[in-house]
Structure 1
Amino acid sequence: MTGRRRWTADEILDKAAELLRTGDTESFSLRKLAAALGTDSSSLYRHFRNKTELLREVADRVLQAAMADHRTGGGGADGADWKERVTALALRLREGFGEQPQLAAIWGRYGSGGAGSRLVMEELLRILHDAGLPEREVPVRYHRLVVLLSALISAEGGLGSVAPEEYEQGLEQFRVAVLGADPERFPMLARFAREVRPLGADRRAAFEELLAAQLADIEASLEASSSEASSG
């Protein structure tokens, strides 16, 4: 009698990504993954200590794929194109997770210390350094940027995982609740009811505007640092 097949870590991650694309993270479990592979949970623990570690590895694969052919460096000594470089990286990450929305939420929730995560960290830190930020500000600005990107991409991913009919039902409930708001109890809501938009509306423009605002803040800091250096 032959024993059960031993799956490699990559094969396990492939199947996990497949299940997560068609399901949700809350219902995902190592037991379900093992059943899909035709094995038992104990065989998965040879490769992964727990569910969280496995989910981090799955999300990190998306980061690795997004960074696979990304052109790093090349910013120039004056950092003239640093904003374009950050934007290009951000859009690349959004595109990668856009194809696998459930995995975006995993990245936002669990983070990752894998190879893909390190590539993203290295590139963002390099760009900010090339831009001319003072050394002490580089890690701080990096953290703000990566938190913003993670939150925005995760939010888009969560929206992308909602079935069209569920999304339409939510929109209808939103319209009824907002347009029917009692003007005495909710005077501002009633006043702006026709202009207020649901959270899921036009996320692409919101993503770009919020990222641009963060980059403008960094640019203002660069200008302030340059002025201080000149006056000193």
Structure 2
Amino acid sequence: MAQPAPRDGRVRLTPESIIDAVIRLSREEPGERLTFRRLGQELGVDASAMYRHFRNRDAIVRAALDRLFQGAVADAQAAAGREDWRSRLEAYFEALMAAFIRHPALGRESFALDTYGPGELQSIEFVLECLTEAGLPHARVVHYYAALESHALALGAGIAREIQQLPGSAGHDPWLSPGVFTQLAGHPLLEAHHPDLARLDSLGTFRAGLAAILDSASREGSTIRS
């Protein structure tokens, strides 16, 4: 929660209050890029005051992103903590995508920035634990971790950027432009599949990729156990 201002009217600036403000602004002003100046306005302080707690903007964004990773793990554990490895992974990645959709100014940074924080470490451990439970060999655990994380973060960043450009789209913007379907001649498979392709949106694409990776991990794990 945000830190209340002291009774003498001065703002008590802490790393936590700054992160609270970043997360709040990324939700309430989804189309805006986070800046020290805007943070200063939100907190009622000079923008330069942020440098006493964070060396630059990236450090603040990393800390806020770390909070989102931590929250996604907590949400997954609450929703599917007693379920099997696949259900827990599905719950985690759905929670992470939902966090990026709610906070697009942060989600758009997720592919390019490591947080170096406890939330990201906890999320990596969570994914590795689930993949280990799937029965995969040691080296293949990392293989599937890489596939899942790169897919989720790349699509998450892309959907967040999409939401900033199209507020309210919430991941449901068509994956393919309608103009594609006006030029079907000579492309028989595109013509055959175009009704399903026309219904495909960004979230549907994310979920299709997630299911394909988890299907593969499940088959491989079952083969090793048998």
TM-score range, shorter chain: 0.7 to 0.9
| Of 105, 113, 118, the match for 2:116 | 113
What is the CA distance between 1:206 and its match in structure 2? 2.5
2:5 is matched with none
Q: CA 1:180/1:214 → structure 2, altered by over 3 Å: closer, same or farther?
A: closer
Which whole-Å deviations, capped at 9, do the CAs of 1:180-220 have from their partners, x for residues lacking one?
A: 5496xxx439x63992746x943333222211110122123
1:131 is matched with 134
What is the CA distance between 1:225 and its match in structure 2? 3.5
Identity %: 28
What are the residue-to-residue correspondences of 1:1-232 with 2, within 5 Å?
A: 5-21=11-27, 22-24=29-31, 27-68=33-74, 70-71=77-78, 81-161=84-164, 162-163=166-167, 174-175=177-178, 177-181=179-183, 187-188=186-187, 192=191, 195=194, 197=197, 201-226=200-225
- Contact 2:21/2:43, CA 8 A, preserved across alignment: yes
**Amino acid corresponding to residue 26 of structure 2 in structure 1:** L
**Amino acid corresponding to residue 117 of structure 1 in structure 2:** E
Q: If the length of structure 2 is used for normalisation, what is the TM-score? A: 0.75
**Amino acid corresponding to residue 195 of structure 1 in structure 2:** H
- Contact 2:69/2:96, CA 8 A, preserved across alignment: yes
The 2-side partners of 1:121 and 1:194 are apart by: 37
1:230 is matched with none
Which whole-Å deviations, capped at 9, do the CAs of 1:102-152 have from their partners, x for residues lacking one?
A: 322222231322222112111111111122211122222212211112123
- Contact 1:179/1:194, CA 8 A, preserved across alignment: no
Secondary structure of the residue aligned to 1:133 is coil
Q: CA 1:18/1:192 → structure 2, altered by over 3 Å: closer, same or farther?
A: same
The 1-side partners of 2:140 and 2:181 are apart by: 45
Q: CA 1:155/1:223 → structure 2, altered by over 3 Å: closer, same or farther?
A: same
Which whole-Å deviations, capped at 9, do the CAs of 1:1-54 have from their partners, x for residues lacking one?
A: x895341111111222233230446x4321232233232232101111111111
Q: If the length of structure 1 is used for normalisation, what is the TM-score? A: 0.74
Secondary structure of the residue aligned to 2:116 is coil
- Contact 1:105/1:154, CA 8 A, preserved across alignment: yes
Q: What is the RMSD of the two structures over their aligned residues, measured on CA atoms? A: 3.5
What is the CA distance between 1:74 and its match in structure 2? 5.5
In the alignment, structure 2 segments of 5+ residues that lack a partner are 1-7
Q: CA 1:132/1:42 → structure 2, altered by over 3 Å: closer, same or farther?
A: same
Q: CA 1:223/1:59 → structure 2, altered by over 3 Å: closer, same or farther?
A: same
- Contact 1:57/1:112, CA 8 A, preserved across alignment: yes
Secondary structure of the residue aligned to 2:108 is helix
The 2-side partners of 1:223 and 1:214 are apart by: 14
In the alignment, structure 1 segments of 5+ residues that lack a partner are 76-80, 228-232
Kindly name which structure, 1 or 2, has the bigger radius of gyration based on alpha carbons. 1
